[in-house]
Structure 1
Amino acid sequence: MKVHKFDLIKFSREIFISFTHEAKLNHIVYTFITSKEEVFVFGDREKLEMVLFNLLSNAFKFTPSNGCITVEINVLENLVVTQVSDTGSGVSNQARSKIFDRYYQDNTRHSTTGFGIGLFLVKKIIDAHHGVVDFQSDLGKGSKFTFGLLHGSTHFEPEEIIEDKSMLLSSKVLDVWDDHQALEVEQLANIQEEVDVQTLDITTEKKAILLVEDDDDIRIYIRKIFIDSYLIFEALDGTEGLALAETHMPDIIITDVIMSGGSGLDLCANIKNTPELSHIPVIILTSSSSSEIKLKGIEHGADDFITKPFEKDILIARVANLLKSRTKLQQYFFNEITLKSVDFKISNEYKLFLERCISITERHLDDSDFNIKTLADELATSPSVLYRKIKAISGKTTIEFIRYIRLRKAAQLLIDSEYNISQTAIHCGFTDIKYFREQFTKLFGMRPSDYVKKYKANLSLKHRVIRKS
């Protein structure tokens, strides 16, 4: 047992939120009820995660579509009581006395997947907390599982109680800054205002980070970490965060799980389900170290997790690593355009996007009116959104992107057809032959004539002419 003092409401809400996607998919009315803003208890947070996660997993396993699942927390005189109730299949009479036994499975229920140790662990863990666990059930109508934790810490051995550093994060986060580096909140706000104004008038090579966090101390702390090297945008909740993502198309998003105006998991799901934004990597901050909770986050599309409290170097490294994957994506684009072999994989989403862009552009090779708007219309998006997505994926402007695809087709024609250089240039939409030669040389590292000599000659060696007698 590693016993900490922690806020049971916030702790439970984070686990509750991790099942919201599953509730939506199954059209389940999913409710969290409490009359308290915060309730502090002593307990082993990691083990209690297993308890609540198991109870919710069972509730979803045995509740059909259009059912109801509720998590309710009440404070009694001696106990803090958590209830997980559902309108599922219920527990049979023969199973009631054995439901908490190890390896026991109720074969009368609609699903028997698993090993029968979930509820055994629930009771084992609550017993170790000197708490109580019970259930009520009506077969075919549903179940209510309840566990209660005692107030205070006197029921634990002194050696079981350890200091929880995460409790210090919000209140002392500013103290971890070096005195000579620390900036007042007002100064940072002024810097951010200047950055926001500047972005209206100038461009920057800095990558952009969107911070979505309603805790001022944590948001300021993260801003302080990155503000010298990145362009920072900030939002206080998921709704505002989504709007800023659509406006600024950041290179990466960092968000907390629990926020007053919509969870980070919902924000992540919205980002990944929006075609124009789905390429943006999302890091989720969580107080949970549970692999089950992280798995739920991955189902929402999260690219990475950072467990609070975190070392700033870890966060910096995770951000750099995800942005490096964007660089690999741009290298994939370059290799694909220059017809080089690609020795790493990218997601099908990006691959299909590139293939669609190539296909549309190649269909319009001889169309002198083909432009950014035409490409955007055929992709069912706006030119501005298309620009930001292409820039993020390829590192190129939309005009450069289209020109590269034309040059790619030109390289193929120089090898696979009988067109000469001038005919190839005109066929691919280049009316200025000199400009075509310059751009081809810039992209492929050799003049078109040298490209033909190198690759068409090599290609001819691979073919044998079969003469008819």
Structure 2
Amino acid sequence: MRNNLLLIVPDKKEQELLVKRFLGNYNIYIAGNWAEVLHLAETNSIQLIMCSVDVPAVNGWELCRQVKSAAHLCHIPVILLTADDSFRSRIRNLESGADAFVRRPYSLTYLDALASNLLANREKIRAHFAGSRCKPITAANAGEEDSFFKKLHTHIINNMHNCSLNVSLLARLMNMSRAAFYKKMKTVTHLTPNELINKLRLSRAAELLTSADYKVNEVARMTGFHSQSSFAKTFVKRFKVTPTEYRQMRQKTKLPQRPALHLLNNDAALYN
């Protein structure tokens, strides 16, 4: 699947050069101002932005800052293109929240490799939540996502007992529209919010069945399932055994239980 690349480069020759270089591997979109950036990013699921700092009216630093300040867009990597390599310019690049910045004249080969590397890091984040056993997310490679998902995780845990916990409630708690929240979740994790909620519910249920002396119906209630039968059906689908059988198996083998409530910890296997 081809990634969508958004170019914000006012110089036509440079724009044509970048289009020629990246068109073979990316779907290219071109914007000239913040309104166009916002429209294209929200309607085309942009995966990467390359932005010149010398955009008219609103400069590239401000455009980048606005992207990184928008909860539903901040996951998009931004590469700033600049001709100024002064100390002040470097500081502004960092303050804008840019994921990387490249000084003109630049090597297209280097720029291509940089873009691929940023997208590979985002793919690790998606794979983590989708169930891959790749390296876990850390503050060093998660960027804005680290803060976003820590906050999201807290809201899910605090409301896990609530049977009505759903996309709409989480979107309100995250101060986002339902559509923007859903789209961000799918883009970054390849999971719907309900799928993530369900994974955390079942991980917590497995922990309670093993480490605490609760009845199955109590575990079902504590993890937000409407009924014991609904809980059992969902549990069997995930673990291939009933909750009671799972407890018996864990007690028999005496396997150490892994912590189930750390979304950004060193145990990516929890989300398999």
Shorter-chain TM band:
0.7 to 0.9
Higher strand share: 1
Aligned counterparts of 2:179 and 2:130: Cα–Cα separation in 1: 22
SS at match of 1:211: strand
1:78-127 per-residue CA deviation (whole Å, 9 max, x = no partner) reads xxxxxxxxxxxxxxxxxxxxxxxxxxxxxxxxxxxxxxxxxxxxxxxxxx
- 1:291 to 1:320, Cα distance in 2 relative to 1, 3 A: farther
Alignment partner of 1:320 is 2:119? no
**Aligned AA (1:458):** P
- Residue aligning to 1:390: 185
- Residue aligning to 1:308: 104
Check the 8 A contact 2:6/2:48 in 1, yes or no.
yes
1:159-208 per-residue CA deviation (whole Å, 9 max, x = no partner) reads xxxxxxxxxxxxxxxxxxxxxxxxxxxxxxxxxxxxxxxxxxxxxx4322
**Aligned AA (2:139):** K
**Matched ranges for 1:48-447 at <5 A:** 205-330=1-126, 333=129, 342=136, 344-346=138-140, 349-419=144-214, 423-425=218-220, 427-430=222-225, 431-440=230-239
Aligned counterparts of 1:270 and 1:239: Cα–Cα separation in 2: 11
Number of residue pairs matched by the alignment: 249
1:261-304 per-residue CA deviation (whole Å, 9 max, x = no partner) reads 42111101111222222222210111234454223211211111
Aligned counterparts of 1:208 and 1:310: Cα–Cα separation in 2: 22
* 1:421 positional shift: 5.4
Aligned counterparts of 2:40 and 2:252: Cα–Cα separation in 1: 49
- 1:429 to 1:229, Cα distance in 2 relative to 1, 3 A: farther
- 1:219 to 1:395, Cα distance in 2 relative to 1, 3 A: same
- 1:384 to 1:306, Cα distance in 2 relative to 1, 3 A: same
**Aligned AA (1:264):** G
SS at match of 1:458: coil
* 1:254 positional shift: 0.5
- RMSD between aligned alpha carbons? 3.4
* 1:420 positional shift: 5.3
**Aligned AA (1:436):** F
Check the 8 A contact 1:206/1:230 in 2, yes or no.
yes
Aligned counterparts of 1:288 and 1:454: Cα–Cα separation in 2: 66
SS at match of 2:49: strand
- Residue aligning to 2:262: none
Whose RCO is larger (CA < 8 A, sep 6+)? Answer: 2
SS at match of 2:65: helix
Check the 8 A contact 1:415/1:452 in 2, yes or no.
yes
SS at match of 1:258: coil
* 1:448 positional shift: 4.0
Check the 8 A contact 1:362/1:409 in 2, yes or no.
no
* 1:332 positional shift: 5.3
Larger C-alpha radius of gyration, 1 or 2? 1
* 1:376 positional shift: 0.7
* 1:381 positional shift: 0.9
Check the 8 A contact 2:6/2:46 in 1, yes or no.
yes
Higher helix share: 2
**Aligned AA (2:107):** E
- 1:216 to 1:411, Cα distance in 2 relative to 1, 3 A: farther
Deviates more, 1:377-386 or 1:358-367: 358-367
Q: TM-score, normalised by structure 2?
A: 0.75
Aligned counterparts of 1:451 and 1:253: Cα–Cα separation in 2: 49
Aligned counterparts of 1:299 and 1:393: Cα–Cα separation in 2: 23
Aligned counterparts of 1:341 and 1:229: Cα–Cα separation in 2: 26
Aligned counterparts of 1:291 and 1:450: Cα–Cα separation in 2: 63
SS at match of 2:120: helix
- 1:343 to 1:306, Cα distance in 2 relative to 1, 3 A: closer
Q: Which runs of 5+ in 2 are unaligned?
A: 258-272
- Residue aligning to 1:458: 256
**Aligned AA (2:164):** D
- 1:349 to 1:259, Cα distance in 2 relative to 1, 3 A: closer
1:313-347 per-residue CA deviation (whole Å, 9 max, x = no partner) reads 21111111111221333355568x99x99584345
- 1:318 to 1:451, Cα distance in 2 relative to 1, 3 A: farther
* 1:229 positional shift: 2.7
SS at match of 1:268: helix
Q: TM-score, normalised by structure 1?
A: 0.46
Q: Which runs of 5+ in 1 are unaligned?
A: 1-204, 442-446, 460-469
Check the 8 A contact 1:283/1:306 in 2, yes or no.
yes
Check the 8 A contact 1:213/1:236 in 2, yes or no.
yes
